[in-house]
Structure 1
């Protein structure tokens, strides 16, 4: 559906540009924005590679497992249906840590693995479990301590203090995550 909407928006824009005599300007914008998109994506590769490498080192060194032990009481409250020491715990924690450091794109791989492990615990494959729903809710609220992508964008566009956004981001995402968990638990109890 979304592809259809995008297609029609682009198609209508091109027709309008042709009718108003601005078709050449549309071509120039397409090439300019495509180039900026590629440049932006390449500039994020360094940050993403660094943090994904750190996360893999943390996993292989046992740091993630140690962190799971520290955060297990919180995980028990949020995800009571996940058995103790199940692989889903590790993937969920890695996803949360990646999101906290603002590398949401890098967290996607961990999130997919977490969802796969949670689905292995699911008896009814046609319906999401409470743990799957809660994981998705927390992921969408996305608690962030250091929004690296936003800092990078602010730096690229010449901000005098690109990291100024950290304080407001911590406050906003902490509140959104807390509210998301509360609402998720309310719906979980209702069901």
Structure 2
């Protein structure tokens, strides 16, 4: 559906530009958009590579393990159906840690690994388990303490204070995560998993 919407928007833009005799504006916009995308991508590659390196150093220094010990009781509370030392728990913690540090790109592989591990415990593979739903809600609306990617984009485009968004980001993501966890808990009571 989204692909059809994009196709409609692009075709209607080209057709209207041709009707108005401004086809060169479409070409100029395409080239400018492509240039902006490449420039932004190169800037983001540097930022993401740096923070992924920081994440690796933190992992090697034991910081991720320390964080996982701190967060493990909360994970046990939110995911009571998972065995305590199951590989999914570690992947969930790593995903949450990456999201908290604003590294959504680094969180993706760990999130996929967590879902694969939870699927192995799923007695009904065609349905999502409650743990999968909780993880999806948490992953989508996770608390972010340092929005590294957004700070990098703001710095890339010349913001005088690229880190000025940290306070509002913490507040907004804390509210979002709280609502996601509460909605997950409330909806689970109203719509229990079918046996």
> TM class, shorter-chain normalised?
over 0.9
Contact 2:64 2:97 in 1 (8 A): no
TM-score (norm: length of structure 1): 0.92
1:17 and 2:27 matched = no
Q: Distance in 1 between matches of 2:111 and 2:46?
A: 21
C-alpha displacement of 1:82: 1.1
RMSD: 1.6
What is the correspondence of 1:133-152 to structure 2 with a 5 Å cutoff?
Answer: 133-152=133-152
Check the 8 A contact 2:48/2:149 in 1, yes or no.
Answer: no
Q: Give the count of matched residue pairs.
A: 191
Matched, 1:80 2:80: yes
Match of 2:36 in 1: 36
Q: 1:53–1:175: structure 2 CA closer, same or farther, 3 Å change rule?
A: same
Deviations 1:27-81 (A, max 9, x none): 0110111111111111111221222233344445654344322221111111111
- Aligned 1:76-115 pairs, distance under 5 A: 76-115=76-115
Query: Which residue in 2 is equivalent to 1:131?
Result: 131
Q: Match for residue 4 of structure 2?
A: 4
Q: Report deviation, 1:185.
A: 1.1
Unaligned 5+ segments in structure 1 are none
Q: Is the 8 A contact 2:118 2:131 kept in 1?
A: yes
Q: Distance in 2 between matches of 1:142 and 1:14?
A: 39
Question: Are the equivalent residues in 2 in contact too, given 1:65–1:90 (CA < 8 A)?
Answer: no
Give the ranges of 4+ consecutive aligned residues of structure 1 lying more than 4 Å apart after TM superposition.
Answer: 57-63
Q: Contact between 1:155 and 1:162, CA under 8 Å: does it hold in 2? A: yes
TM-score under structure 2 length normalisation: 0.91
